Amino acid sequence: DIMIPRDYNAAHDLIERNLVAGRGGKIAYIDDRGSYTFDELSKRINRFANVLKGLQVRQEERILLCLLDTIDFPTAFLGAIKAGVIPVPTNTLLTAEDYRHMLRDSRATTLVVSHLLWPHFQEIVDDIPTLRHVILSDEKVPGRLELSSLLSQASDVFRAAETTSDDPCFWLYSSGSTGNPKGTVHIHSSLVNTAELYAIPTLAIRESDVVFSAAKLFFAYGLGNALTFPLAVGATTILMNERPTPEAVFKRLRQHQPSVFCGVPTLYASMLAHPDCPGAEELNLRCCPSAGEALPQEISRQWSARFGVDILDGIGSTEMLHIFLSNRVGDVRYGTTGKPVPGYKVRLVDEDGQPVAVGEIGALEVSGPSSAIQYWNNVAKSRSTFIGDWIHSGDKYSVTADGYYVYAGRSDDMLKVGGIYVSPTEVESVLMGHEAILEVAVVGRHDDEKLIKPAAYVVLKPGWSASQKLAGELKQFVKAHLAPYKYPRWFEFLDELPKTATGKIQRFKLRSGNQN
């Protein structure tokens, strides 16, 4: 068991342990603008905590962060935690309507937003009754507070708020197949538990590592990779403000020579297929975790053959905060998600909650010390997900006789696309708003790399006919109304959708590509 004291502040711990270890002068972060030592990071965090205090933001109030990966993310996230204020990092790829929901649901009193993302917020901030302060990061906007000038005016000394290891610390929004995203409430002890249980034993992460996560800090996966884990051991982290295209990733790999690179299967596949993919001798990789979606065996094989390093596929969740089932160095079985991370318990159960036999598919439930405590403001979903010590993951798995877990899809209709959840129902309801569409069903389909992407099956209204042009228009229609990564990559036009006698769409028939 990991001993975390009762009086505990996660931000204080993650910084102080580095200063006590004499790492103050070591580089903690390198972003696209510069580098920052642990001492500088500590001061920035204290300054931000003082900014909040000066603005009279109180302990336990929520502060919404919509930030690209720069030094301002750890500054605001850990500065808020140090002040006992609850940061709520959000996906930077969403729409104004998504942010409106999160601001209202969290009753955030403060928003910190990257200048580039400000256009999404400009039209909604005046509609949020609880919002008292808007702080822009990166560039000034007339009439708005600006982060760097606030930091420069604030004191760099701050005594951590009196929090306990069980106190709410931060939230992450998690999406489901229906309804709005849910604020997942994490406590102070959770961050360091993920480092102690997963990163240190499974990745052997250490002070000498240089870590680069293509998965952004706003994802639970990226937050562990590029904040909790490196700070827990005093490693250096590379942050990239751009979209994680293969080109942008190659540039950082060549320039900064990370030893730990964290990706998702879609990215690993597109890196391998790219003509500019570096050779092993150009890089210094020792460890490459993957999560977010199931990793096809072929990608594992190609990566190991090219770099001499295995991809360590694992699965985590926003609710468990990080990976609880994983392959590990020296024990990798391609095509599986490995074994439970010691410190977590997993079980596979049937519809009656009874354990399934070896080789049979069951619903994956997990228990461990980094689990969230509830969904904010949503008793029904909290009760059906957090059952005593166990959490329903929503994933289906089987286990081999020698203990390796094999992914078997979702229990709900959710799709994991490039590591991010997409709700088919949400995409369908947008498409139903298009004048040509009578009925639609969205399901997952494998692309050429065996990775899941959304496909739409459409029945047109009388008077409309199927064409490539209409398919293109429908793609644009979805992109204009939802976060762009949610658009269906394929449109199939049918005379009718397969249905049961009671009129329920038989999605499984569409999934297998068989509409009869």
| Residues forming the site for ligand 3SK (CB under 6 A) | 220-221, 291-292, 315-318, 322-323, 419
250: enclosing H helix or E strand: helix 246-256
Beta carbon nearer to ligand 3SK, 113 or 323: 323
Taking the mean position of all CA atoms in its chain, how far away is CA 298? 24
From the number of C-beta atoms within 10 Å of its C-beta (0-12, 13-18, 19+), residue 467 rates as exposed
Give dist(CA 459, CA 451) in Å, integer: 26
Beta carbon nearer to ligand 3SK, 57 or 288: 288
The position carrying tokens 């596929």 is 313
Beta carbon nearer to ligand 3SK, 171 or 221: 221
457: enclosing H helix or E strand: strand 452-460
Work out how close the CB of 323 gets to ligand 3SK at its nearest, in angstroms, rounded to a whole number. 5
Work out how close the CB of 44 gets to ligand 3SK at its nearest, in angstroms, rounded to a whole number. 25
The position carrying tokens 């600006």 is 146
Work out how close the CB of 173 gets to ligand 3SK at its nearest, in angstroms, rounded to a whole number. 12
Beta carbon nearer to ligand 3SK, 185 or 458: 185
Work out how close the CB of 400 gets to ligand 3SK at its nearest, in angstroms, rounded to a whole number. 20
380: enclosing H helix or E strand: helix 379-385
Amino acid at 149: S
Work out how close the CB of 232 gets to ligand 3SK at its nearest, in angstroms, rounded to a whole number. 16
Q: Which residues, 6 or more positions from 436, have their beta carbon under 8 angstroms from its beta carbon?
A: 460, 461, 464, 470, 474
Work out how close the CB of 325 gets to ligand 3SK at its nearest, in angstroms, rounded to a whole number. 9
Give dist(CA 318, CA 337) in Å, integer: 17
Beta carbon nearer to ligand 3SK, 74 or 292: 292
Q: Which residues, 6 or more positions from 19, have their beta carbon under 8 angstroms from its beta carbon?
A: 38, 39, 42
Beta carbon nearer to ligand 3SK, 30 or 415: 415
From the number of C-beta atoms within 10 Å of its C-beta (0-12, 13-18, 19+), residue 119 rates as exposed
Beta carbon nearer to ligand 3SK, 289 or 454: 289
Work out how close the CB of 210 gets to ligand 3SK at its nearest, in angstroms, rounded to a whole number. 21
Between β-strands 35-37 and 311-316, what pairing exists: parallel, antiparallel or unpaired? unpaired
Report the residue closest to ligand 3SK, judged by CB: 316
- Nearest-Å Rg of the Cα atoms of the chain is 23
Work out how close the CB of 322 gets to ligand 3SK at its nearest, in angstroms, rounded to a whole number. 5
Give dist(CA 449, CA 178) in Å, integer: 28
Beta carbon nearer to ligand 3SK, 376 or 477: 376
